[in-house]
Amino acid sequence: MISPKRVTIALLFALSAAALSGAAHAENARVEEAYRLMVDKDYAGARAIVEPLAEEGVAGAQHMLGYLEQYGLGGPKELQHAIDLYYKAALSGSADAQFALGELAFYGDGVKVDYERAAGWYRLAAAQDHPGAEARLGIMHQRGLGTPKDPRVAVSLFEKAAKAGDLDAQFYLGTAYVNGEGVKQDYKKAAEWYKLAAEKGQGDAQYNLSLLYDSDYLGAPDPKEAYRWMRAAGDAGLPEAYVALGLMTNEGRAGPGDKAIDWFELAANAGDAQGMFLFAVALTKGDGRPKDPNLAAVWLDRALEAADPADTEFRRNAEALREEIAEAQRAAR
């Protein structure tokens, strides 16, 4: 599983103070000031600082201005200019800019997806110990995307980045231990890596950690810990966590006042096919709200559109629900 990309401010400033001249010290201090403003969501203030520095060729400022322009923060969204700024900074040796160019090529944000180009930029950044680039390069080796498929190389990259504190790398490493990809299967080690990331708010790690606690892979299942981490994953906005929380609520494992239908509705609105289906079920049965078979029919249609066409079981269940909805509609006339 590749984590969904998150638009977050996660910029690394690895300039060595000992190696900076007096002018470079002053420039770096200004870039760090802009970073603090960005963290505080004063994007216009951050732009005002980095724009003149970027014109002067300061790589850190070029990267930061590129980031602001890529996402339209504090000013207009200018993707092509952002790319130009990233290139300038990357050629000056900015690992963050190299990583940013790798991300653009990997995800195809405004450019063509090109895994080989992405891997090239990630390698340059990884050579400077950029944890994010190491983690992404690990995924590429794990899946054979633009690189030779080699799970062991992937694990070594994940481990290096995970030890440096990269949350996604900790999640990927945990998943490698769960699946036994490039490393001997070990659920306890998986849980250890998941927990490190989960405690810092990594939603995918919280979700998978909950599943481990809900199983017997770590010993006897621990329903309280399973619910705690699934709730955290829900708070992080994972649609699959909304579905799981709805099912846990139906089983009487949720907090007081929780309604399964509310979780299913959140999942449905987030585009999750199973969430749409379960929301339709709840509306048909009047589970937590008055029966509304007409709305249930709408959500069932949406669920079928979003579902995997090859999932025949889902489609059989959907047809059975459609008959139940039709019966409820006739009874309501």
> How confident is the model at residue 25, as a pLDDT?
60
Is residue 9 over pLDDT 70?
Answer: no
Going by C-alpha positions, the residue among 108, 98, 113, 105 that lies closest to residue 66 is 98
- Whole-prediction pTM: 0.88
* Mean confidence (pLDDT) of the chain: 92
Contact 94, 106 (CB under 8 A): no
User: Residues with Cβ < 8 Å from 110, sequence gap 6 or more?
Assistant: 79, 80, 83, 104
Q: How far apart are CA 16 and CA 18, in angstroms?
A: 5
Range from 20-29, 143-152, 225-234 carrying the lowest mean pLDDT: 20-29
Q: How far apart are CA 186 and CA 175, in angstroms?
A: 10
> How confident is the model at residue 4, as a pLDDT?
42
pLDDT in tens, 180-226: 999 999 999 999 999 999 999 999 999 999 999 999 999 999 999 99
Going by C-alpha positions, the residue among 271, 276, 258, 257 that lies closest to residue 318 is 276
Q: How far apart are CA 169 and CA 176, in angstroms?
A: 10
> How confident is the model at residue 332, as a pLDDT?
84
Average of per-residue pLDDT across 146-174:
97
> How confident is the model at residue 19, as a pLDDT?
34
pLDDT in tens, 82-140: 999 999 999 999 999 999 999 999 999 888 999 999 999 999 999 999 999 999 999 99
Average of per-residue pLDDT across 308-330:
95
Q: Is the dihedral of CA 256, 261, 264, 270 positive or negative?
A: negative
Percent of the chain exceeding pLDDT 70 equals 92
Percent of the chain exceeding pLDDT 90 equals 88
Angle between helices 95-107 and 115-126 (to 10 degrees): 160
22, with CB counted inside 10 A (0-12, 13-18, 19+), is exposed
Q: Phi/psi of residue 300, each to 5°? A: -65, -40
pLDDT in tens, 229-285: 999 999 999 999 999 999 999 999 987 888 999 999 999 999 999 999 999 999 999
Is residue 17 over pLDDT 60?
Answer: no
> How confident is the model at residue 24, as a pLDDT?
58
Q: How far apart are CA 80 and CA 101, in angstroms?
A: 12
Q: With DSSP H G I counted as helix, E B as strand and the rest as coil, what are the percentages for the chain, rounded to 5? A: 70, 0, 30
Is residue 15 over pLDDT 80?
Answer: no
Band the pLDDT of 12: cuts 50, 70, 90. very low
> How confident is the model at residue 27, as a pLDDT?
76
Ranges of beta strands (E only) in the chain are: none
Average of per-residue pLDDT across 155-161:
98
User: Residues with Cβ < 8 Å from 209, sequence gap 6 or more?
Assistant: 191, 194, 195, 198, 229
Band the pLDDT of 11: cuts 50, 70, 90. very low
Average of per-residue pLDDT across 132-156:
97
Q: How far apart are CA 24 and CA 176, in angstroms?
A: 42
